[in-house]
């Protein structure tokens, strides 16, 4: 699946430049460097464009950052970094710190679909890595402090008898389009806006294949049994660090029984019902039915099924 939101980061990740500390130091001193600022879950955005710092402002951001990650090199061979400046105080009105850059601090989940795809992918990549750093400050094996290495792509336990290295996490989740002839199984989560329905999804558990996770999740959440499980693409989902792995599956049995602990409701919708009754007009007003945001793999999976009519 091509061109899903948060995929195809427009950088050479330059893996070979991560390991050597002196190389990293000289990249950080490069006058050409670009820096993606990140402050307490928020990214800097102006008029639907991601804001990167360069020149002296980039150097200042690196000086202020609690964590720095080397993201790679852009198409003009300039090093690009992400900088977590969450230690800075915000403004009196509750907004993020004024860095002298244009733009306002905004949550990526709300504005990702409005950005050029490459910029959304860049912010997602930066965000996923910086959140991982914050959660990996102490060794999961022995509890000692850890230190960033390899340009921010490894954390090293500082207890020399433990010495464990940890790596950025990506948590696999399956997302599945279950159909039965001209009907599709959709569900609602209690925390979603009124009227929104989507395909089922769930985290992969230890000791199961992706296909087993699809089968188990559908059965647990709805009571429906599935077969013909087929891979259908994937999407990085940096909230905070998942990858959504898409599958189609065919219902072959069971009785629809939405699990009250897992979801608010689950129903079969025919193609005709979706085409006639779902639209974007009432998103957020609670007076109509609508599908997940454009750019999400869930939206793509449903649209592809509708288009195959
Ligand atoms: Zn340790």
Q: Quote the pLDDT of residue 293.
A: 85
pLDDT in tens, 81-108: 999 999 999 998 888 999 888 999 999 9
pTM above 0.85, yes or no: yes
Question: How many whole angstroms separate alpha carbon 85 and alpha carbon 89?
Answer: 9
User: What is each CA distance from 66 to 11, 69, 100, 152, in whole angstroms?
Assistant: 23, 10, 19, 12
pLDDT in tens, 190-234: 999 899 999 999 999 999 999 999 999 999 999 999 999 999 999
The separation between CA 156 and the C-alpha centre of its own chain, rounded to angstroms, equals 25
pLDDT in tens, 157-198: 999 999 999 999 999 999 999 999 999 999 999 999 899 999
How many angstroms is it from 67 CA to the middle of ligand 1?
A: 20
How many angstroms is it from 229 CA to the middle of ligand 1?
A: 40
pLDDT in tens, 262-285: 899 999 999 999 999 998 777 777
Question: How many whole angstroms separate alpha carbon 266 and alpha carbon 257?
Answer: 8
- Are residues 130 and 70 in contact, defined by beta-carbon separation less than 8 angstroms? no
Neighbours of ion ligand 1 (CB under 5 A): 139, 141-142, 144, 157, 159, 162, 164
How many angstroms is it from 78 CA to the middle of ligand 1?
A: 35
Tell me the CATH number for domain 15-135: 3.90.79
Q: 15-135 and 171-307 share one CATH topology?
A: yes
pLDDT in tens, 10-64: 999 999 999 999 999 999 999 999 999 999 999 999 989 999 999 999 999 999 9
pLDDT of residue 286 exceeding 80 = no
Tell me the CATH number for domain 171-307: 3.90.79.10
Question: How many whole angstroms separate alpha carbon 202 and alpha carbon 176?
Answer: 9
The two beta strands, 104-107 and 79-84, are: unpaired
Q: Quote the pLDDT of residue 86.
A: 96
How many angstroms is it from 135 CA to the middle of ligand 1?
A: 14
Work out whether the CA dihedral 100, 106, 112, 114 comes out positive or negative: negative
How many angstroms is it from 165 CA to the middle of ligand 1?
A: 8
Report residue 14 as tokens.
């330059």
Q: Quote the pLDDT of residue 2.
A: 62
pLDDT in tens, 49-84: 999 999 999 999 999 999 999 999 999 999 999 999
How many angstroms is it from 219 CA to the middle of ligand 1?
A: 39
DSSP state letter for 175: E
Report residue 308 as tokens.
């195959």
- Helix H or strand E encompassing 212: helix 210-222
pLDDT of residue 301 exceeding 80 = yes
How many angstroms is it from 143 CA to the middle of ligand 1?
A: 6
């Amino acid at each position: 699946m091509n061109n899903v939101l948060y995929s195809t980061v427009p950088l050479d990740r330059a893996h070979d430049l991560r390991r050597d500390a002196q190389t990293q130091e000289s990249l950080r001193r490069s006058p050409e460097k670009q820096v993606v600022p990140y402050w307490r879950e928020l990214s800097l955005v102006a008029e639907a464009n991601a804001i990167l710092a360069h020149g002296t402002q980039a150097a200042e951001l690196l000086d202020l950052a609690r964590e720095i990650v080397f993201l790679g090199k852009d198409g003009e061979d300039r090093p690009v970094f992400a900088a977590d400046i969450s230690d800075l105080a915000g403004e009196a009105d509750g907004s993020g710190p004024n860095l002298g850059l244009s733009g306002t601090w905004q949550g990526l989940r709300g504005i990702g679909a409005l950005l050029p795809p490459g910029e959304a992918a860049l912010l997602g990549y930066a965000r996923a890595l910086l959140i991982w750093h914050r959660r990996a400050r102490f060794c999961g094996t022995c509890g000692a402090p850890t230190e960033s290495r390899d340009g921010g792509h490894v954390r090293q336990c500082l207890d020399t008898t433990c010495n464990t290295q940890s790596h950025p996490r990506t948590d696999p989740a399956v997302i599945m389009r279950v159909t039965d002839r001209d009907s599709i199984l959709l569900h609602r989560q209690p925390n979603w806006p009124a009227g929104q329905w989507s395909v089922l999804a769930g985290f992969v558990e230890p000791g199961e294949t992706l296909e087993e996770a699809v089968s188990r999740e559908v059965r647990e959440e709805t009571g429906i049994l599935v077969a013909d499980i087929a891979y259908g693409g994937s999407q990085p989902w940096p909230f905070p660090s998942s990858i959504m792995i898409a599958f189609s599956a065919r219902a072959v049995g069971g009785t629809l029984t939405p699990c009250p602990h897992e979801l608010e409701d689950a129903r079969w919708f025919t193609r005709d019902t979706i085409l006639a009754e779902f639209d974007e007009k009432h998103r957020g007003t609670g007076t109509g039915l609508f599908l997940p945001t454009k750019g999400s793999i869930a939206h793509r999976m449903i649209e592809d099924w509708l288009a195959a009519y």
